[in-house]
Amino acid sequence: FRLEPGGLERTFVRVPYGASRCRVRFVQDGLGRNEYRTGAGSVSGFRYAGDRQRRGRFILEDGGEAGQLVPVEPGTVFEYTIASRWAVNRPAGIRLELEFLGVVPQEQELVVPAGQGIGWLALKSPLRSVDLRCEAGIDGVARPVTADWKIVPDPIRSTVMGGRGMFQAVLEWPVVVPAGGARLELVMPRSIQTTEIREDLMLVIRDQNGVVVGRHIAYEKETDLGRLDEGTYTFRLAHPSLGQAPLAARYAGAEVRIHLQEPAPSLAADLAGAFAGGEGSVGLRIPFGGSRLLAVRVPELPALAGGAYYFGTVRIRSGGDDLLSLPLRIERPAPAGEEAGADEDAAEPGAEERAAYERLSAGGGEEAAEPAARLAAARAWAEAAPSSGEAELAVLRELAAAGLAEFARDRARSFLGRFPALRDAFLAAAPAWNP
């Protein structure tokens, strides 16, 4: 087709069964250095906008070409629009090519249930013969949020027209970040998320001393919480709602995902290969209309308590194109009454140093009466647990006991800014160094 400056061309194509991507390519035929804006997408009753839309900006000369790989949904109508910038472009011919790619998985999620070491699914190719490269990875641990919903009146917008109330459901729960720290996400994959019954969900994160370390708007799917240091945090999620009925129905579930370095699964093109150990990645050749098996063997993983599970991704590529990205779920529940092995790494930082200090303070050992020994133990605890207000307060007390009140006063200046939750304990101890 020919595209004039300021012109816009819209192309509509029905997406065939088996397609998960559309490779778009267009070529300019004509003089001039032209700028084009593109938009691609479809109307869907299931997918979020980001999972079915793409935009682009391209500058082409005669014979120049551009392309995009756009996610699509079978059975919908795919639209691709090209707009020619009116101010600087010249008339040009455009040749547009659309190629649908994809394979169909047996399931939309690969689940390896408890007590099973191998998971598998079939892949079929209804569009053409295809060569695939398959990989899998375990990204971390997902912990469901099971805190009670406390329904309270909205503190700002208590009523609206007709006296119908605004309310909030407030959930608070502890989150333990293991040694070395980790990146976290709040995920709400199956909650009802409509503007008719909800406003923005607010998540507040406080450390063990009550200091706010993060405020986030919780989005419909994933909310990136960034990286948190090792320690125990309190998460507070508020669900605003018009009326109490949605809150009483607990319309929005959530889980916290902690990204960790876990050993990767091995893959095979058949069960015999999986029994033999598998490989880091595997290639599959599927004929037109045929199907093949993909087997995933997972490594030994510690058990998890409280309904937690390991999450990851199975990625399927053809050439340089990503055709599918399937969620991987590995269930390793802890036996009833037993601690989860995966939680052992989440022990309190500085636990050994704290125990050593408490033994000296309680009068255990020959060095118990020596203020210098107690001060050294308190400092060791504070160094091992820099986020512990109790450890810092112990250092202040021992400085005063050792006759170093001036050093204690200097160190205490920043205490309440770092540990506001320990205000009462700090004020009770302060006369020791500030009589």
CATH number at residue 27: 2.60.120.680
Longest dimension (CA), the chain: 94
Q: What is the reported pLDDT for 156?
A: 73
Q: Are 51 and 2 contacting, i.e. CB atoms less than 8 angstroms apart?
A: no
**Do residue 74 and residue 118 come from a single domain?**
no
Residues 128 and 275 reside in one and the same domain: yes
Q: Do 159 and 292 belong to one domain?
A: no
Claim to verify: residue 279 and residue 415 sit in the same structural domain: no
Phi, then psi, of 355 in degrees rounded to 5:
-60, -40
The boundaries of the domain holding residue 29 are 2-101
Residue 277 lies inside a defined structural domain of this protein:
yes
Residue 336 belongs to a domain:
no
- Mean pLDDT for all residues in the chain: 87
Q: How far apart are CA 278 and CA 267, in angstroms?
A: 5
- The residue out of 253, 271, 298 marking a domain boundary is 253
Residue 341 is assigned to a structural domain of this protein:
no
Give the domain-ending residue among 253, 282, 316: 253
**For residue 421, what pLDDT is reported?**
80
| Residue recorded with tokens 């390991």 | 310
226 domain residue, yes or no:
yes
Rounded Cα distance, 96 and 107, in Å: 33
Q: Provide the strand spans (E) within 178-287.
A: 182-187, 201-206, 212-218, 222-228, 231-242, 255-259, 266-268, 281-286
CATH number at residue 285: 2.60.40
Residues 94 and 156 in one domain: no
Residue 337 lies in a domain: no
Cα torsion angle, 100, 103, 104, 110, sign: negative
In a domain, 162, yes or no: yes
Asked if residue 187 and residue 320 are part of one domain, the reply reads no
Question: What percentage of the chain reaches a pLDDT higher than 70?
Answer: 91
In a domain, 67, yes or no: yes
What type of residue is 80? Y
152 and 244 inside one domain: yes
Identify the H or E element spanning 63: none
Same domain, 376 and 415: yes
Token pair in block for residue 398 = 């021992």
pLDDT at position 112 is 95
pLDDT at 340: 43
The whole-number pLDDT of residue 249 equals 85
Look at residue 335 and tell me if it is in a domain.
Answer: no
Asked whether 202 and 238 are in contact (CB, 8 A), the reply is yes
How much is the pTM? 0.76
Domain termination residue (choose one: 297, 330, 363): 330
- What CA–CA distance (Å, rounded) separates 327 from 108? 8
**3-state secondary structure labels for all residues of 67-118:** EEEEECCCCCEEEEEEEECCCCCCCEEEEEEEEEECCEECCCCEEECCCCCE
Give the pLDDT of residue 196: 45
Same domain, 13 and 89: yes
- Residues 108, 92: one domain? no
In a shared domain, residues 237 and 276: no
Residues 237 and 385 grouped into a single domain? no
Total domains present in the chain: 4
Q: What is the pLDDT along the chain (435 residues), one digit of tens a residue?
A: 999 999 999 999 999 999 999 999 999 998 788 999 999 988 887 777 778 889 999 999 989 999 999 999 999 999 999 999 988 889 999 999 999 999 999 999 999 999 999 999 999 999 999 999 999 999 999 999 999 999 888 777 665 555 567 788 899 999 999 988 999 999 986 665 544 445 567 899 998 888 899 999 887 678 899 999 988 899 999 888 878 888 888 887 899 999 998 889 999 999 899 999 888 899 999 999 999 999 999 999 999 988 999 999 999 999 888 999 999 999 999 887 654 444 444 456 788 888 888 888 876 555 455 888 888 888 899 888 887 888 899 999 989 988 888 998 999 988 888 888 888 889 999 999 888
